[in-house]
Structure 1
Amino acid sequence: MKLRITHQTVYRYDHPIRNIVQSLRLTPSLFEGQKTHDWQIDVADGIKGPSFRDGAGDWIEGWTVRGPADQVVITVTGRVETRDTAGVLRGYREQINPLAYLRSTPATKPDAALRELAQHVTGERDQLDLSHQLSALVTDKIAYTPGVTEAATTAADALKLGQGVCQDHAQVLIAVARLRDLPARYVSGYLHSTEDGEPHDAAHAWAEIHVDGLGWIGFDAANRCCPDERYVRLGSGLDASDAAPIRGIAAGQSAEEMDVAVRVEEIEKFQAQSQSQT
């Protein structure tokens, strides 16, 4: 599938800030199921700093905006070609040992309810079967409900609520997978549409679980599936905060507001619609 992606993030400040330093994980991953044809990242009035590939295989760009500034606009545009690999992250280069992803974080710290949930799956045939069953269990336990959770909601909080969004599904799955001695991590990216073709929140997140003999495999508990050609992978981390596409520090006392607009279109359909309008 050939996808055109437009992603704009706007930070607004009620008082001008002196300086902003940002770390952007906004470049698509390189692996067998994903190829980038062109990709541009622009920070309005920004100065591009060092760029590097980290140990997890993610491409990181540093940017600085010198104030005074009352807003920062980050715009990403590009084209990506994807294909279905049944969720398996083949041909991906990274240096971190998968066992590092057994470590819990404040957002994925297990409580009694998460420990109990992790033990609900019994009689699994192997690690792959266990992973699929855990993902399905999380789908059943967390109803997809926008607006009931926030960025700081933990896996334990989301399970207690029984509701949440893709971030919550991913973090709950990560927590229970680690409790079953399966390395698991959070993945940020984009999603073209749901499986039935209906529009979907284009900025998306899911989990990856490491299975012996196969490597990392994606599981999207929010949509009860493994990532396919509709998904574009950006980067990963121990939890949502660690895998955030944009991280930064602003110098100055100011309240911050953020607006995000993401559009993911299939190129053939986009071209056909454009031609029909001319």
Structure 2
Amino acid sequence: MKLTIAHKTCFSYQSMVRQSTQYLRLTPQNSVHQQIISWDLLLPEEAICTTDTWGNVLHVLTLDRPHQEIEIEARGVVDILDEGDSAPDPDCTLSPLVFLRHSPLTQPDAEIVHFARRYYREEAPLVSLERLMGELLLKMPYQPGSTLVTDPAEKVFAAGSGVCQDHSHVFLACCRSLHIPARYVSGYLYTDHVEHVATHAWVEAWVDGSWHSFDITNNTRSTRQHLKLAVGVDYLDACPVRGMRLGGGSENMQAVAAVQLVFSQQ
């Protein structure tokens, strides 16, 4: 399945920003699940390209001149391959064990630990995690606008609703409390459901020597409609755009992402 992606992020500020740095994880990589046909970043200045701790492509955009707005656009064409729901991740040099580490956004409380243990069976880890995924979505229905990206897992779990990053943070907390390495994934989703935005987040859990995908928001292990951008311990490690600045006052951010199916011409 071939997809086109157009993702534009615009920042505007109340007053002039003296200096800003944006960390962009907006470039997908080839894998057994996806092949990049073309990909471009449109930026106001040339960015430094490197690889971060987690193996993601990272562009660092620094603006040293005064500015009151920033426009960042990623666009490209990607072929999503039908290769199942797991991958050995041969290019990653990191041990999966690093993804056992909790973070402030994924620290489980007693309620999350109890919830995870209720549904997990060591003799059937994948089946157990799939059931856990379904039960979590029942407990935390998808509800846009009900949380903030800075809300930790214990808070959104207690609130009983959330969006994809909330589902992912709680599921990560569950997995790690069960001593299962798990990582946050950011990317795009092709879907006909207009209530779900194109930017998306899900989880990969390390079971039996491979990374297995769990999209809690859509209650599926299939990634046949997913394009992976970046991975990390939590949202802050893998979010597409994250920055810092000097000055500028209040900030307004608008992001629009569109993922469309490319139809072959006969």
The interval holding the TM-score normalised by the smaller chain is over 0.9
- 1:6-32 deviation line (CA, Å, top 9, x unaligned): 000001110110111122111113211
Segments of structure 2 that go 5 or more residues without pairing to the other structure are none
Shift of 1:67: 2.5
Mapped to 1, the partners of 2:69 and 2:90 lie a distance apart of: 36
Provide the rounded CA distance (Å) in 2 between the counterparts of 1:206 and 1:108.
14
Counterpart contact for 1:30–1:92, Cα < 8 Å: no
Residue identity matched to 2:135: L
Aligned partners of 1:91, 1:110: CA distance in 2, in Å? 27
Aligned counterpart, 1:201: 197
Distance 1:114 1:6, change over 3 A: same
Distance 1:122 1:231, change over 3 A: closer
What is the aligned partner in structure 2 of residue 226 from structure 1? 221
Matched, 1:216 2:215: no
Distance in 1 between residues matched to 2:55 and 2:237, nearest whole Å:
14
Alignment partners' CA distance in 2, 1:188 and 1:122? 25
Query: Secondary structure at the residue paired with 1:268?
Result: coil
Please tell me whether the aligned partners of residues 108 and 175 of structure 1 are also in contact (alpha carbons under 8 angstroms). Answer: yes
Counterpart CA distance in 2 for 1:3 and 1:202 is 12
| Count of residues paired in the alignment | 265
Q: Please say if residues 55 and 94 of structure 1, whose CA atoms lie closer than 8 Å, have aligned partners that are also in contact.
A: no
Instruction: Deviation per CA, 1:32-60: give whole Å up to 9, x if none.
Output: 1100011000112x2322x1233422111
Q: Residue in 2 aligned with 1:21?
A: 21
Change (3 A) 1:122 1:109: closer
Match among 54, 69, 72 for residue 70 of structure 2? 72
Determine helix, strand or coil for the equivalent of 2:91.
coil
TM-score normalised per structure 2: 0.94
Q: In 2, Cα distance between the equivalents of 1:221 and 1:158?
A: 14
Alignment of 1:115-194 (within 5 A): 115-193=113-191
Residue 107 of structure 2 aligns with which residue? 109
| 1:75 positional shift | 0.6
Aligned AA (1:8)? K
SS in 1 for 2:130: helix
Counterpart amino acid of residue 165 in structure 1: V
CA 1:29–1:227: 2 relative to 1, 3 Å: farther
Distance 2:177 2:228 in 1: 25
Q: What is the alpha-carbon distance in structure 2 between the residues aligned to residue 173 and residue 116 of structure 1?
A: 13
2:40 aligned partner: 40
Letter matched to residue 7 of structure 1: H
CA distance in 1: counterparts of 2:54 and 2:5, whole angstroms:
23
Look up the match of 2:94: 96
* Identity, % of aligned positions: 33
Aligned to 1:11: 11
- Give per-residue Cα distances to partners, 1:68-116, cap 9 Å, x unaligned: 1111000111000002333213455111111111111111111121111
CA distance in 2, matches of 1:115, 1:91: 28
Change over 3 Å in CA distance of 1:266–1:90 after alignment to 2: farther
Superposition deviation, residue 231 in structure 1: 0.5
Matching residue of 1:276: none
C-alpha separation in 2, matches of 1:55 and 1:85: 26
* Cα deviations by residue, 1:232-263 (Å, 9 ceiling, x for unpaired): 00001111112111122212252111100000
Q: Which residue is equivalent to 1:275? A: none
Residue number among 241, 248, 252 corresponding to 1:246 in the alignment: 241
Summarize the Cα distance change of 1:114–1:77 in structure 2 as closer, same or farther, 3 Å threshold: same
Distance 1:125 1:105 in 2: 28
Residue identity matched to 2:198: A
Deviation, 1:151, is 0.9
* Structure 1 counterpart SS, 2:169: helix
TM-score by length of 1: 0.90
